[in-house]
Amino acid sequence: MSNVALSRSQKMLRKFWYAFWRLIERCFFHGQAYSLHVPYGHRIFTPWFEEDSNSDFSQVIKMVKGFGPLVVSSDRCYILFQLARKASLIPGDLAECGVYTGGTAHLLALVLERQAISTKKLHLFDTFTGMPKTSIPSRDYHSPGDFANTSVDLVKKRLQHYDSFCIYHVGLMPVTFSEVKDIKEFSFVHVDVDIFPSVLACCEYFYPRLSRGGIMVFDDYGFYPYRYSVRSVVDNFFADKIDKPIFLPTGQALIIKT
């Protein structure tokens, strides 16, 4: 079996597992303030499952899901929510690289709206046509054209309420980074681009422009299929930097600028 065929088979198997896990979540986890921590067996605080509570996060995640798909898991959304809220108090705009259908962009927009900070912008970078030709399945897990079921018009419609501070940068990274060359500081950058060259481009461009105390969050860093793309780039890029990646059990990693 070729590497490409093997990768496709593994993806199909994971789809069955994800469907099974979503059933388990609905039956035993959702609505619970404390949930079973697999595999250790401890009951730990899991506020991302408390969607029926009146917490700020619960209200935000309900709004996000009510306006369209959200492919990032609730625990990762909780991390983004907490960190973006903190970073919104630091000088600099916010950015998301890898928008897809706009789920986490919607979450970040709600954070800015609720913080009532009118001076910040949320910059959204994506091809909005799926994975580019630079993606290599054996390295990046994804093939050119994956995630093509979106468009910039679809995302703009979803986020139309936030037109005053959402700015769209359509095309390949790092080419589109030239559109923000006059912005000196970013307080928060969410990197969810999956593939090696795009993750590297984000590191090279945004890390030097990150505000002191600013945060970069790398989605998929700890997930096995992205060990040669996201994790490889982040580990190598920050190997000689004073700031090192902090790995989270959600599969994300973050950098806090010294």
**Residue 4 confidence (pLDDT) above 60:** no
Instruction: Place 187 in a pLDDT band, splitting at 50, 70 and 90.
Output: very high
Cβ neighbors of 200 (< 8 A, separation 6 or more) are 233, 237
Across 92-209, where does the E strand assignment appear? 93-97, 122-126, 166-170, 186-191
Residue 254, pLDDT > 60, answer yes
Q: Which pLDDT value is given to residue 136? A: 95
Cβ proximity of 201 and 174 under 8 Å: yes
Give the global pTM: 0.92
Q: Is the pLDDT of residue 7 over 80?
A: no
Residue 98 belongs to some domain of the structure? yes
Residue 8 inside a domain? The answer is no
In this prediction, residue 26 carries a pLDDT of 80
Per-residue pLDDT at 52: 72
Confidence of residue 225 (pLDDT cuts 50, 70, 90): very high
Q: What is the pLDDT of residues 9-43, one digit of tens each?
A: 767 777 788 788 878 888 888 888 899 888 888 99
> What average pLDDT does this structure show over 50-61?
87
pLDDT at 100 over 90: yes
pLDDT value of residue 19:
82
2 in a structural domain: no
* Mean pLDDT calculated for residue range 177-198: 97
pLDDT at residue 191, as a whole number: 98
CB atoms within 10 A of CB 257: 21
pLDDT at 231 over 90: yes
SS3 101: coil
Query: CA triplet 204, 206, 207: central angle to 5 degrees?
Result: 75
The C-alpha atoms of residue 2 and residue 182 are separated, in whole angstroms, by 46
Looking up residue 206, the CATH number of its domain turns out to be 3.40.50.150
Give the list of residues 6+ apart from residue 65 with CB closer than 8 angstroms, or none.
none
Amino acid identity for residue 130 in this structure: G
**What is the pLDDT, as a whole number, of residue 226?**
97
User: Is 18 part of a structural domain of the chain?
Assistant: no
Give me the half-sphere count of Cα atoms (radius 13 Å) on the Cβ side of residue 12: 6
pLDDT the model gives residue 17: 81
Both tokens assigned to 75: 């625990």
Q: Is residue 80 part of a domain?
A: yes
pLDDT tens-digit map of 129-171: 999 999 999 999 999 999 999 999 999 999 999 999 999 999 9
Alpha carbon separation from 106 to 78, 160, 176 (Å, rounded): 13, 10, 21
The answer as to whether 214 is a domain residue is yes
| 3-class DSSP assignment, residue 110 | helix
Q: Which domain holds residue 90?
A: 52-256
Query: 58 lies in a domain?
Result: yes
Q: Is the dihedral of CA 217, 132, 101, 109 positive or negative?
A: positive
**Euclidean distance between CA atoms 172 and 213, whole angstroms:** 28
> Cα separation of 125 and 191, whole Å?
10
Number of domains composing the chain:
1
Q: How far apart are CA 201 and CA 175, in angstroms?
A: 10
- What's the mean pLDDT when you consider all of the chain? 93
Instruction: Provide the β-strand partners of residue 167.
Output: 123
Q: Does residue 1 have a pLDDT over 60?
A: no
What share of the chain in percent tops pLDDT 70? 97
